[in-house]
Structure 1
């Protein structure tokens, strides 16, 4: 007899509802600790199916419960919300919705990465956070200089040796000078963290054949290639290049009504924003390197402007044949 267990996961607890024979019943709560989840898992049957939504701790919950049940399914929360709009929203209702949708075959599942892909995703995400933090700090230094009417640094990089020497000679108040010094020390620390993350990513990625193929594309470095493959995971799960393009949010919006013509707009941006940001980085790097991609960029820029050219370069270099 089939049973589906829906769990609405929160940070500290999960609300449990069991679907059986077309009926649902509330089974209380389980704490979001390894010990509590293992105890809960031992109470389940090997034929049970567990359904949870994609959250920050869903993979850990899946790893703990998987040995005790037939399958753990992770649902796409945005698509679940679109399918099952409810006027009453509680934890019990959400858990029952998950169980009922899966039992009926309507649950929008997400792909579960293997351990190596999950590790690469974590490394790439941490690197992205460090880079963003470093960019914020640099912008704060530039804002201090702008607030005190300091002209633009004559050197290519404000934060290399020559740029820092120039920075120390600028007439700013003592409190601002101390703030700049703190920011520079933080940049050095983040640079060390970034070097460690780059080393770990390179060690995991250097022997990957798919990454090696991506490295043959102009503008794609090891970090970008590793990030793209971490986002893609198994290329076999995409049955067409268009599916992969949509996963990255690079497919254009389409509007059509009745028998009128279809109008294509900007890209949807509905996919993985981090991976799309890496593609943007690769596209701009390709636009600066000599070759056919730069020639394509220059032609589009001459006809339609700088921003449109950058967008077209991104579409032209998207990984639809990875």
Structure 2
């Protein structure tokens, strides 16, 4: 058995084989699909190929996998021997990858299946479009600010009322033409956004896990699909703390010798976009009645609202792990609100409006039903607050013994 290390770039890859404790350079391979497949065809079915995680690593793995025993994708952040090498070439990098795997010290990356990769691409495209639209709004705001125009009194600068107000403002002609050009680009991106969200709505309706996550307050279609895309197969996380660590929501720890451990800020490792989505969902959950709001308020009273939002996002990650692992819905879900979320998904996916027909989502339009469900979750919030009212934060206790002070837990 050989271990083939590939240091891949955009145009070529450097290949080095490790066998019987010796490294042998195999040369450079063109990164076009047919040339890469031809190289893979020359390998043995018992060979193992190791590559570093890059933008095209998944495509390389897909081409190589049918010809070899296994394709391993390494985590580049943890391959310290490559990052800190004094002498660094493509051949050395490929050889180090092969040697690390042979010695059992290679940090691997989980390779998602094709449906999960497609979902990740769609979620990323939507995020890019949203960021571009926000950038255009900021450019328009900067133009107005440069000419002493006060802030828009309407909630949405690019909405109908905001555009009427925008036309009335006095700016130089070249700036007005620039604003009109930015608005046209904003509208074009809006059309692309509708198409992507329609496809995402179809994906959410076909995914039981996504619909289950939408029973949690604060989690809508976008957050649910972002989490499903980031998590993939939930069974690869044997405990909720592993999912929390994967999302970078676990606190950093510093401890040495007999002294106490000091916990700092969250690590922010792993899927950054999913982590940001969870924090946004935490802010929404903090405004909705239920135990999550009680948890947010309890942390906010001690640590401030920003720490409370991150702590609530971590709590959401734990809840998500339990829901997906056990195949259950959120116990404090509001049925009419969840039905409305699903109906909004259907309309966004292009389902017929069916006006005049009363479906499950119609219960949300009944005031008494909404208030009854709200009172129910408010009772759960009160019960949680009463349950944790007597809790006190515990830490290391300092006990004085003569001149010395020892730390005892």
Report TM bin, short chain: over 0.9
The structural deviation recorded for 1:288 is: 2.7
For residues 56 and 67 of structure 1, what CA distance do their matches in structure 2 show? Answer: 20
Which residues of structure 2 form unaligned runs of 5+?
Answer: 325-409
Deviation readout 1:197-234 (Å, 9 max, x if unpaired): 11111212222122122111101011110110110111
- The alignment yields a C-alpha RMSD, in angstroms, of 1.6
Q: Which moved more, 1:253-262 or 1:91-100?
A: 253-262
Deviations 1:169-211 (A, max 9, x none): 1111111111111111111111111111111112122221221
Matched, 1:219 2:233: no
Deviation for aligned residue 1:113: 0.6
Instruction: Tell me the SS of whatever aligns to 1:110.
Output: coil
After TM superposition, give the deviation of residue 99 of structure 1 in Å.
0.9
Listed as ranges, the matches of 1:120-135 within 5 Å are: 120-135=119-134
Number of the residue aligned with 2:146: 147
Q: Which moved more, 1:262-271 or 1:92-101?
A: 262-271
Check the 8 A contact 1:245/1:320 in 2, yes or no. Answer: no
Alpha-carbon distance in structure 2 between the residues aligned to 1:232 and 1:263: 29
Which residue of 2 is the match for residue 294 of structure 1? 293
Q: Following the alignment from structure 2 to structure 1, what is the Cα–Cα distance between the partners of residues 130 and 81?
A: 34
Task: Note closer, same or farther for the CA distance 1:31–1:20 as it changes in structure 2 (3 Å cut).
Answer: same
Tell me what 2:77 maps to.
Answer: 78
TM-score of the superposition, structure 2-length normalised? 0.75
Cα 1:81–1:229, aligned 2, differ >3 Å: closer, same or farther? same
Equivalence map 1:135-174=2 (5 Å):
135-174=134-173
The answer on whether the counterparts of 1:249 and 1:270 sit within 8 Å (CA) in structure 2 is yes
Q: Is 1:49 equivalent to 2:61 in the alignment?
A: no
Question: Aligned-pair distance for 1:155?
Answer: 1.4
Map 1:1-322 to 2 at 5 A.
Answer: 2-81=1-80, 85-318=84-317, 319-321=320-322, 322=324
2:174 and 2:105 map into 1 onto residues whose CA distance is 60
> Helix, strand or coil for the counterpart of 2:18?
strand
Instruction: Name the SS for the 2:206 alignment partner.
Output: coil
Q: Distance in 2 between matches of 1:85 and 1:230?
A: 32
CA contact (8 A) 1:84 1:97 kept: no
User: Which piece of structure 1 moves more, 46-55 or 76-85?
Assistant: 76-85
The alignment partner of 1:78 has SS state of: coil
Deviation at 1:82, TM superposition (A): 5.4
CA distance in 2, matches of 1:303, 1:117: 39
* TM-score scaled by length of structure 1: 0.95
SS state of the match for residue 184, structure 1? helix
Aligned mates of 1:299, 1:98 — CA distance in 2: 47
Number of aligned residues: 321
Change in CA separation of 1:156 and 1:137 when aligned onto 2, cut-off 3 Å: same
Per-residue deviation, residues 70-103 of structure 1 (Å, max 9, x unmatched)? 1111111111125884321110000001111112
- Over 3 Å counting, the alpha-carbon distance change for 1:294 and 1:245 in structure 2 is same
* SS of match in other structure, 1:7: strand
CA 1:149–1:309 in structure 2 vs 1: closer, same or farther (change >3 Å)? Answer: farther
Unaligned runs of 5+ in 1: none
Greater Cα shift, 76-85 or 143-152: 76-85
